[in-house]
Amino acid sequence: MVLFTESLEAIREFLDTGGMVLSAIAVMILVMWLMILERVFYFLSGHKAYKKQVINEWQARKDRASWNAEQVRQAKIGRVKMKLTQNLAMITTFVALCPLMGLLGTVTGMIEVFDVMAISGSGNARSMASGVSKATIPTMAGMVGALSGVFANSWLQRTSKREVELLEDKLELSISH
């Protein structure tokens, strides 16, 4: 329990050194990763059952060679694609926003440095240190969040595209049989 309390205190102190923008970046990264994890869990569990259901429905059809059958096939593939790509655009948006929020943190931190310089009238390093940390820490956090999100997002995009192609192949193989 003591370790948990100390960890929370360390996180709070870190967020305080980065200012309000760092808190916003932390919330954004948390939401982004919750969405990423939801997609990963869907790919690992829910998608397999849905894909199996779609394949079984297609194979249960008597007519698989007509124009109408092709339209039904395309609709089924489209539904699977929609389920696979759900929230991917939002994740991509969060990945793009992370560095921009970091840049906002840099600007607000530098404004604080300039305010200290205007008040003190000199370049006192000790008085400017808090503004410099508020300028650099959000930038770092935004870049770390974006980099981690880029790798996860590219994996999700690749996986969803591959799954749609595999389903198209599976349903197309059914046409000729």
Digit-coded pLDDT (tens) for 144-177: 889 999 999 999 999 999 988 888 888 775 555 4
Instruction: Indicate whether this model's pTM tops 0.85.
Output: no
Digit-coded pLDDT (tens) for 20-68: 888 888 889 999 999 999 999 998 888 888 888 888 887 777 877 778 8
Which letter, b or e, does each residue of 4-38 get, where b requires 16 or more Cβ atoms within 10 Å of its Cβ?
A: eeeeeeeeeeebeebbebbebbbebbeebbebbee
